[in-house]
A and B are shown apart, each in its own frame.
Chain A
Amino acid sequence: MRKPWSNDDADAEVNLGNILLTGRAGGKDAERAVVLYKKAELQNHPAALNNLGTCYEQGIGVDKDANRAIIYFKRAAAAGSADGAANLKRLGK
């Protein structure tokens, strides 16, 4: 998922979001992770969309919202995220 040539490459947002979400580097900050994913969402970044689905499904950094979660998983799957497709399947959608 590292496309060097396009300017719309939003990997930095997603990777930093992932670190902040888990608190792997110390300081856990789920709210900021969501903000970063939403920035990457503007580029239709598949992993960002899937991760937003997970955040809404589990209420991490945002209020729990099952419907929004499904919308995000659908968008993630459509953007080519295998995780997004797997999440939809898991939820029977």
Chain B
Amino acid sequence: MGVPVDEKKAAKLMEEAAAANDPVALNLMGARLLEGSAAERDPERGREAYERAANLEYPRAVDNLALLYRAGRGVSPDIARAETLLKRAFDLWQRDAEAGDLDAVERIGWHYKVGLGVARDPAQAFKFFNQAAQKGHPLALLEAADCYENGTGTAVDLAKAFEYYKECAASENAIGEYRVGTYLDLGKGVSRDAKQAASWYERSVALNYPEAMTALGLLYEKGEGVSGDPQKAVALYRRAAALENGKAQSYLAHCYEKGVGVPADLTQAVAWYEKAVVKR
């Protein structure tokens, strides 16, 4: 895929930006050093990068650094320091939100949702998510839709949740597309339409979202909204299973067990069930 060259180039650009004290680049570099491939992992330098970005008052890095201290990842756990940092991040997000930054509005919602640097408050969380959602922020749309779906911080309103998921999907967000698919598939907040569900799943699959592969596979297996095609179902389960989707691993195992879309093979069935059950 020609990846090595591009990755080197990307790494070089990031190093340059980080050297120039660009907080966004420093934060990304921190994330790579902490969560990237084994070859580039270096928790100590990752924390340092977060630290530098945090000192430049970049709230995302302050949050990241706080979570490192909270979990004791690559550093000895320090709950008091984590709490101080979370409060600091919360203040910085408020500063940015006042300047009209929608990411910041969404992040304030997240702080209220989880109770980070501020008391957990679902109603406040919903208020901020909804505020950013109304301005079309994709992640806030997902969060606010989730509130409407589960009645957290607001009354349950599936029609409203569906509307938000659709708006999120319109920005080619794979999760939004998948969620619209599930609402249509299950007839949730909208009348059931498996054919449309399948086409939303297709879009999400095109963005490589494993949940959508599994859901679309099931439609092909059952022949709902699409003409039944067990082999296509198996291919989709296999793709999602390779991306460590537990449900897909279980469904693939079931296909091997029953000989659906693939010759029955109990050894394969057991192997995939084993992968699926360790997920829980």
Residues of A within 8 A of B (CB): 2, 4-5, 9-13, 15-16, 19-20, 24-26, 36, 39
Contact = CB atoms under 8 A, between A and B. Distances in A.
Interface residues of B, number: 23
A4 B247 contact: yes
B199 to A, nearest CB: 17
Interface stretch (B4-12, B39-47, B161-169, B269-277): B269-277
Interface of B: 182, 185-186, 214-215, 218, 246-247, 249-251, 253-254, 257, 266-267, 269-270, 273-274, 276-277, 280
A81 B240 CA distance: 30
Given A5-B182, A5-B186, A9-B247, A15 B267 contact: no
Contact of A15 (B182, B214, B218, B273): B273
Nearest to A42: B280
B250 A15 contact: yes
A19 B269 contact: yes
A16 B267 CA distance: 11
Nearest to A35: B277
B26 to A, nearest CB: 36
B182 A16 contact: no
Contacts, number: 54
A11 B258 CA distance: 14
A36 B277 contact: yes
Given A2-B251, A5-B186, A19-B270, 8 more contacts: A4-B214, A12-B246, A15-B269, A16-B273, A19-B269, A19-B273, A26-B267, A36-B277
A14 B179 CA distance: 28
Contacts of A15: 250, 253-254, 257, 269, 273
B251 A25 contact: no
Contacts of B274: 16
A25 B267 contact: yes
B250 A11 contact: yes
